[in-house]
Amino acid sequence: MKFTKRKTVLSLSGTRVVVYSDKADLFSDAVSELAKTLKENPKANIGLATGATFQDFYREVALQCRKGKLSLKKSSTFNLDEYVGIKPSDPESYYSYMNNQLYSKTDLKKENAHLPRSDAKNPKAEAQRYENLIKKSGGIDLQYLGIGNNGHIGFNEPGTPFDSKTHVVKLSEATIRQNSIERGYFVGRKMPRYAMTMGIGTILKARKIIVIATGSHKAEAIGRIFKKGKNKEVPASSLKGMKKVTFMLDRQSAQRL
Ligand code: F6R
């Protein structure tokens, strides 16, 4: 498909897909959805992702908070995933990422900011605790997702059942390559081989879901999501055909649609 407009809204396999020519418009719309959710319910539970894609998102959230146009004061956040076996204070932990990008730059209360604990003695029990915490807190109102080069969401690697709950996962070689060599995390040291992630079933329970992908390196994964039906080899294909899901893509990531 050729995209010539600044913003093109499509319905693909019953899924809302918005393609932007300008990344700034994409992130502005993504943050507007957050503002809308918090306006309706300032105490909303927001599901969050980390990674390179989301740096622009958090920059915009921090800017809107600084301008007084957005407040996270009453809301709670639940991150999708975290590595196993490093300290939360490790510069490569997702806790550190969130602290640098969001917690330290907004009025979100630290006690309302949740991630699985990377240094839990029993990661399996920690995953269960996290799943229960999400449930006890009333579930996720608005979930943000990125897409791995292999089509993963959270750290749900190809083959993960669509009804999975928060669990410990052995990271695939593709994900280890993506996060260490391609993104430049864990330079000069071994990247953790295990992580905890909300399951696909946990994610699909969210009341609204926004998926963001940018850059030509995501084009193949995005193409695979919409080429075939839902299948476990492409975890993000589980999101198709749901009214509550919107994919926000730049032209580069949409080039194989
Ligand atoms: C991270 C997460 C992952 C990333 C995905 C894309 O919390 O949930 O699924 O969203 O690996 O990562 P980037 O944005 O670095 O390409």
Query: Tens of pLDDT along 81-139?
Result: 999 999 999 999 999 999 999 999 999 999 999 999 999 999 999 999 999 999 999 99
CA 238, CA 247: separation in Å to the nearest integer? 13
Phi, psi (rounded to 5 degrees) for 24: -60, -40
Percentage, residues of the chain above pLDDT 70: 100
Which atom of ligand 1 is least distant from the CA of 54? 14
Measure 30 CA to ligand 1 centroid, in angstroms: 16
Whether the CB-CB separation of 218 and 153 falls below 8 Å is answered with no
Measure 51 CA to ligand 1 centroid, in angstroms: 5
36 contact partners, CB below 8 Å, separation of at least 6: none
Q: What sign does the CA torsion over 66, 69, 75, 81 have?
A: negative
Measure 255 CA to ligand 1 centroid, in angstroms: 20
CA 62, CA 214: separation in Å to the nearest integer? 20
> Starting from the edge strand earliest in sequence, which strands make up the sheet with 113-114, in order?
7-12, 15-20, 245-250, 208-213, 142-145, 45-48, 76-79, 113-114
User: Using CA positions, which residue lies closest to atom 8 of ligand 1?
Assistant: 154
Q: Distance from CA of residue 37 to its chain's centroid? A: 17
- Using most ligand atoms within 8 A of CB, pick from 150, 152, 247 the residue to mutate for ligand 1: 152
CA 71, CA 108: separation in Å to the nearest integer? 8
What's the pLDDT score for residue 182?
87
Q: Which residues line ligand 1 (CB under 6 A)?
A: 49-53, 80-81, 146-148, 152-154, 183
User: Using CA positions, which residue lies closest to atom 11 of ligand 1?
Assistant: 148
Residue 183 has pLDDT above 90, yes or no: no
| 191: confidence class by pLDDT, cuts 50, 70, 90 | very high
| 155: confidence class by pLDDT, cuts 50, 70, 90 | very high
CA 227, CA 214: separation in Å to the nearest integer? 18
Whether the CB-CB separation of 19 and 218 falls below 8 Å is answered with no
- Using most ligand atoms within 8 A of CB, pick from 54, 140, 210 the residue to mutate for ligand 1: 54
Measure 149 CA to ligand 1 centroid, in angstroms: 9
- Token pair belonging to 60: 């915009």
169 contact partners, CB below 8 Å, separation of at least 6: 155, 156, 157, 160, 194, 195, 196, 197
What's the pLDDT score for residue 15?
96
Q: Which residues are part of the catalytic machinery?
A: 81, 150, 152, 157
